[in-house]
Each structure stands twice: as structure tokens, then as C-alpha cells.
Amino acid sequence: MISMTRTDFRDIASIVYKVAGIALSDGKFELVQSRLRKRVVHTRKKSYSEYVRYVQGEAGGKELQSMIDAITTNETRFFREAAHFDFLRDVVFRETTRPLRIWCAAASTGEEPYSIAITLRDHFQQSATSKVLATDINCEVLAVARRAVYSEARIASLPATTRDRHFRQVNGTNGDRQFQVKPDTRGLVRFARLNLVNEWPMKGAFDVIFLRNVMIYFDGPTRQWLGARACAHLRPGGYLFIGHSESLGINPPGYRNIQPAIYQRTEGSEITLPRRPM
């Protein structure tokens, strides 16, 4: 069996940090070795070091994306950290009647952006015209998200009324029961690939940004940098949602803390973007 050396791990960690901003601690050695073993075999390389050289070479661009896909973790579920969706419905949606611009920056397999879309549909009914931009660095999970098909187990925690209103049963590949998000709800979400440490090409300010459960994979300076970038892309008074295990630090510039893991961009705040930590 092909084994990864500590030197290989450090080289891979350096590539991943440079490309995606993800900080791989020494404790991730076994995880990285396990997840990349299939990629080493798939590319017919004889060692991890040969694989690293291939990824860094001119012919390795596509494989570099496959490597990032293999390493990134995509744990998610519908209405994860449910208090955020209550705040979205009870506070954000009641502040305005105009269409909202919402960005879900770590879409994974789609449960989070579709939870936002379901909340929109339930609150605004047929007049729901707000749009959700959903992005992720991982191409494989985005393909799952676009299909919007989930196993019965994945939607088991949803109320029956939500399942009936927003999902339709489809035939699974193995004859099992699967459920697809209905077109009217699915149509509120647009998916795109985006590496958070690269340029953000979106034009105009967002009313809401979900940057949840992704910053735990970055180091402190990168988290602060991403928080500042998000603030610059929020309209004054707009809201940033992060994961409950995450933090922007003490008194992050441009924000005031509203509730646990919910921040609001302060009126009149000027944001100077720092350079990306390297």
C-alpha cells in the first residue's frame, strides 16, 4: 500500500493553503493520506511525492481541483443551527418588502441554500422574488446540489408540511425513495463555483451573507480577512451569519454582534481590505 511521508504531507498542506486558504494541521495527516490515496492510484502515480509533483506541474491543473475536492469536508444538513433561519424569517424578512440579495458562501450539497429558499417561500409565499447565490469550491458537491435530490434519511428531520410543500418523490437509482426540491423553490437558488480566497466577482452589495461552518478550516488571520471581505460586500445594515463554533474575533471592524454568530454591518462603516495572509 502506498504511504504518505511527513514531507509529502507538508508539501500537500502548503499547496492547499496557497490555493484554498485551508490550514491542515498535523492532526489531519491520516485524513489527508486516506482521502488522497484514491487520487494517487487514479493518476497512476507510484508515490505521494510523485503525485505532488504532478499536481504542481503544467498538466496537473484539473487534478489540483480533484485534490481540493477530496480534501474538503462537506458536513451539512437542512436547517442546521435553526435559530439562524428563525432570525432570517422573523427579523430580516420583516424589515423590508423588496427583493433581497442573499449569498450562501459554502453551499456544499445544497441543504443550506435550499433551507434559505424554503424559508423565503414559506414567508413570502408566491411573491418570493429574492434570489440566493450559492457557491462552493468543491465541484462534486455542487453537482449534487444542482440535482437537488436527497435520500429519505436526509429530509427525515423536516416537518411533514415542509416535505410536502417543497419536495416531490423521485425514483432512486436503487429503487429507494428519494426526494427532489420542487422547481419553484429550486428556482430561487443559483449555484456557482467560487474559491473564497480568490477574487469575488459579484457586483453590488448583499443583504445577507451566510459564511457558516467554513471558516473553521482557515487560520485566524485568514478568518479575519474573510470577515472584512464579507463586510465590504454587505450593504450597511446587512447581516452576516457564521457558524456557532466560529468567531470573527473581538469587536470586528464594521460589525456589531446581534446574536450568537449573527453580525450586522454598521451604518457608515468604512472597510479597508487587508491583503490576504500567505
Whose grid coordinates read 435559530? 83
Parse the chain into domains and list their residue ranges.
6-71, 83-265
* Residue 166 confidence class, pLDDT cut points 50, 70, 90: very high
> Of residues 35, 89, 163, 165, which has the active-site annotation?
35
Instruction: State how far the Cα of 175 lies from the Cα of 168, in Å rounded to an integer.
Output: 15
Q: Report the C-alpha gap between 39 and 216 in whole angstroms.
A: 25
C-alpha to C-alpha distance for 232 and 278, rounded to whole angstroms? 21
pLDDT at 240 over 90: yes
Summarised one tens digit per residue, pLDDT across range 31-41 is 999 999 999 99
Q: How many residues does the chain have?
A: 278
Written as nine digits, the cell of 125 is: 409565499
Mean predicted lDDT score pLDDT of the chain: 92
pLDDT (tens digit, 9 = 90+) per residue, 99-154?
Answer: 999 999 999 999 999 999 999 999 998 777 899 999 999 999 999 999 999 999 99
Q: What is the pLDDT of residue 251?
A: 84
Contact 179, 167 (CB under 8 A): yes
Using an 8 Å Cβ cutoff, are 15 and 52 in contact?
yes
SS (H, E, C) the chain: CCCCCHHHHHHHHHHHHHHHCCCCCHHHHHHHHHHHHHHHHHCCCCCHHHHHHHHHCHHHHHHHHHHHHHHCCCCCCCCCCCHHHHHHHHHHHHHCCCCCEEEECCCCCCHHHHHHHHHHHHHHHHHCCCEEEEEECCHHHHHHHHHCEEECCCCCCCCHHHHHHHEEEEECCCCCEEEEECHHHHCCEEEEECCCCCCCCCCCCEEEEEECCCHHHCCHHHHHHHHHHHHHCEEEEEEEEECCCCCCCCCCCCEEEEECCEEEECCCCCCCCCCCCC
Alpha-carbon span 278 to 58, nearest angstrom = 22
d(CA 23, CA 25): 6
* 146 classed as catalytic: no
Where does the pLDDT of residue 275 fall: very low under 50, low under 70, confident under 90, or very high at 90 and above? Answer: confident
Query: What's the pLDDT score for residue 237?
Result: 95
pLDDT of residue 272: 72
- Beta strands 177-181 and 149-151 are antiparallel
189-193 vs 131-136, strand pairing mode = parallel
Q: Which of 8, 11, 69, 136 is catalytic?
A: 136
What integer is the mean pLDDT of 36-57? Answer: 94
- Residue 28 — pLDDT band, cuts 50, 70, 90? very high
The model's pLDDT over 188-223, given as tens digits with 9 standing for 90+, comes to 999 999 999 999 999 989 999 999 999 999 998 899
- Is the domain covering 83-265 a CATH 3.40.50.150 domain? yes
CATH tag for 6-71 (out of 3.40.630.30, 3.40.50.720, 1.10.155.10, 3.40.190.80): 1.10.155.10
Asked if 138 contacts 69 with a C-beta cutoff of 8 angstroms, the reply is yes
The helix-helix angle for 29-42 and 61-71 (nearest 10°) equals 140
Annotated active-site residue 10? The verdict is no
- Check for a shared fold between 6-71 and 83-265: no
